[in-house]
Amino acid sequence: MDPETKHADSPSSSETAINKEGVTEPQNEPATAGIPIERRTPKNAPGPPPDGGLEAWLQVVGAFSIMVATWGLVNTYGVYQTYYQTVMLTSNSASSISWIGSLQACLLFIGGLVSGPLFDAGYFRAELIVGLFLICFGMFMTSLCTSYWQVILAQGVCVGLGMGLTFLPTAGLLAQYFQKRRAFALGIGGTGSPIGGIIFPIIFSRLEPSIGFGWATRVIAFIVLGLSVLPIIFMRPRIPPTGRVRSVVDNTAWTDLGFMSYAVGISVTFLVLYTAFFYLQVFTELNGIWSAEFPLIQLRS
pLDDT, tens digit, for every residue of 280-300? Answer: 766 666 666 655 555 555 555
With contact defined as beta carbons under 8 Å apart, do 245 and 121 qualify? yes
pTM, rounded to two decimals: 0.76
Q: Which residues pair with 24 in a beta bridge?
A: 18
Which CATH class, in words, describes the domain spanning 54-300?
mainly alpha
Enumerate residues 6+ apart whose C-beta is below 8 A from 289.
283
- Report d(CA 125, CA 220) in Å as an integer: 24
Q: Who wins on pLDDT, 4 or 72? A: 72
- Report d(CA 2, CA 150) in Å as an integer: 93
Lowest mean pLDDT segment, chosen from 13-27, 120-134, 171-185 = 13-27
With contact defined as beta carbons under 8 Å apart, do 59 and 235 qualify? yes
Q: What is the pLDDT of residues 30-48, one digit of tens each?
A: 444 444 444 444 555 677 8
Enumerate residues 6+ apart whose C-beta is below 8 A from 202.
295, 298
Pairing of strands 24-26, 16-18: antiparallel
Instruction: Report domain extents, the chain.
Output: 54-300
